[in-house]
Amino acid sequence: MTLQEILTLDCTQCAVPVHSKKRLLEQICQLAANELSDSNPTDLLDSLLNREKMGSTGIGNGIAIPHGRLNDADKAIAVFLTTKQAIDFDAIDNKPVDIFICL
């Protein structure tokens, strides 16, 4: 499976005006919920937040790869966002993040 197969134009946004990690994750979950049948943004957000509790998905150089899993999901999807301004995401290099690829 390639990123091209799971990333749609509807799940891509640039220069999103968010200022916090939680608001960014909420935006991601809203887009993802529109693509997944029988899921809602709250379940998706819980999945992403639970993963973030284990350790930040900010990999450095302004990039984060938030990801989560739903037991009842029938397919994988990706969401790609850039933010208008880089936000604190607890990345491993302690630098703000402005590129997000969510699975």
- Does 67 qualify as catalytic in the annotation? yes
- Alpha-carbon distance of 70 to 2, in angstroms, equals 20
- Alpha-carbon distance of 51 to 17, in angstroms, equals 24
- Helix and strand numbers, DSSP H then E, in the chain: 3, 5
Catalytic annotation, pick one of 67, 70, 82, 95: 67
Q: DSSP alpha helices (H): ranges in 1-103?
A: 3-6, 21-35, 41-54
- Alpha-carbon distance of 83 to 15, in angstroms, equals 4
Annotated catalytic residues are: 67
